[in-house]
Amino acid sequence: MCEPLGTVQELEARMGRPFVDDLEKRQAAAAIADASDIVRAYGSPLWGCDEFDRKVRTPPAVKAVTLAMTERRMRNPENFVSEGAGEYQYRYAEQGSNGFAPSKQEIMLIEKLANKYGVRTLDVVRAVSINNRRTFPYDETVKDVIDAENSS
């Protein structure tokens, strides 16, 4: 069984305030679970899983990315870019308006922590055909192949 990659208490500490009611705590727990699933999809599906964590510890930065994604969701659940009322206007940072979607930098970090890199190596096998046709020497116009044995 895989656990969420963060806790509600850790999220409260990052947001700088306690959650006031059970509804907000349940929403935070669900958001952490969703963000954990997204992080696992980009990284390792075994992060936070009991049998895996006993052998190989999940990197601490994975928790940081998960909680950062969750904090964006909790601060701006409707994914607003800006809002206004009368003369009051407020604009969120572009990154703050993408909700659960990890940023390019977060994706790169997650992939690095999972040892996934953009450059991959592949074994390439090419079929080689051998024919008996003589191709050298050839004349200057390269139109006719000259049989070296019969040219003397």
pLDDT of the residue at 135? 56
Question: Cα separation of 104 and 114, whole Å?
Answer: 15
Higher pLDDT, 89 or 27: 27
Q: What pTM, to 2 d.p., does this model score?
A: 0.67
Residue 37, pLDDT > 70, answer: yes
Q: Express each pLDDT in 45-82 by its tens digit.
A: 889 888 766 666 889 999 999 999 999 888 877 676 66
∠ CA(5), CA(113), CA(33), 5° rounding?
20
Round the average pLDDT of the chain to a whole number and report it. Answer: 79
Tally of CB atoms within 10 A around 78: 7
Higher pLDDT, 95 or 14: 14
pLDDT of the residue at 69? 92
137 CB-near residues (< 8 Å, 6+ apart) = 146, 148
Higher pLDDT, 47 or 86: 47
